[in-house]
Structure 1
């Protein structure tokens, strides 16, 4: 689902659609697979409970899992969607998913507290 893009991001192509919910979401199985790839700590152990930090155009936002989203879709609340250049959703778009180090860096820039690295032991 995710391909290497840069030192800080993976890339995927998803249908970006408007969503009535409070948070951006994607289908549970896809979210879990992406999460395991992004947060893999070796020996097949991955984190399936973390939000993914995605970038659409210049906007970063967390993505959670949801049962009511079609596979291959990134469902984005209207308020978040307005900050992107997706003018006529649904639309196929390249979506960047931040790797752990980049996500931690971004979260520290945008939160008033320190983000600690997860303890995988």
Structure 2
């Protein structure tokens, strides 16, 4: 679904649509799988519920898992996007662990909640 694009991002394509939720979301199973690939290092028990950070156009979004979002879809809060331009199949960037930790700190997440193994922790 995503492949390395740069030193800080992976590139993928998702169907992007507005929805009535408060946070950006993808299907929970996909969220956990991406979390394992991007944030974990395979040592011990590791959390897979950290917010992912995705970039669409010029905006970054902390992304949570939600069983109500269809597979292959990035659902964005209506007030955060131009609803006239969506839904659409779009390229999406996924931040790697160090970049995600930096962006999540900017968004107000507690850095102590993000390590170890989470964004910027001991994960890849």
Q: Give the TM-score category using the shorter length.
A: 0.7 to 0.9
Structure showing the higher helix proportion among its residues: 2
- Match for residue 111 of structure 2? 115
Deviation at 1:49, TM superposition (A): 1.1
User: Number of residues paired by the alignment?
Assistant: 117
Q: 1 CA distance for matches of 2:42 and 2:95?
A: 18
Structure 2 counterparts to residues 45-56 of structure 1, below 5 A: 47-56=47-56
User: What is the aligned-residue RMSD (CA, Å)?
Assistant: 2.3
Q: Does 1:76 align with 2:97?
A: no
Q: 1 CA distance for matches of 2:76 and 2:18?
A: 5
- Match for residue 40 of structure 2? 40
Moved over 3 A (4+): 42-47, 107-111
User: Closer, same or farther in 2 for the Cα pair 1:62/1:114, shift >3 Å?
Assistant: closer
Q: 2 CA distance for matches of 1:58 and 1:67?
A: 27
SS of residue paired to 2:102: helix
Q: Does 1:106 align with 2:107?
A: no
SS of residue paired to 1:60: strand
Give TM-score, length-normalised by structure 2. 0.81
- Structure 2 stretches of 5 or more lacking a match? none
Deviation at 1:74, TM superposition (A): 0.2
Deviation at 1:79, TM superposition (A): 1.5
- Match for residue 95 of structure 1? 92
- Match for residue 13 of structure 2? 13
Q: Which moved more, 1:58-67 or 1:73-82?
A: 73-82
User: Closer, same or farther in 2 for the Cα pair 1:32/1:77, shift >3 Å?
Assistant: same
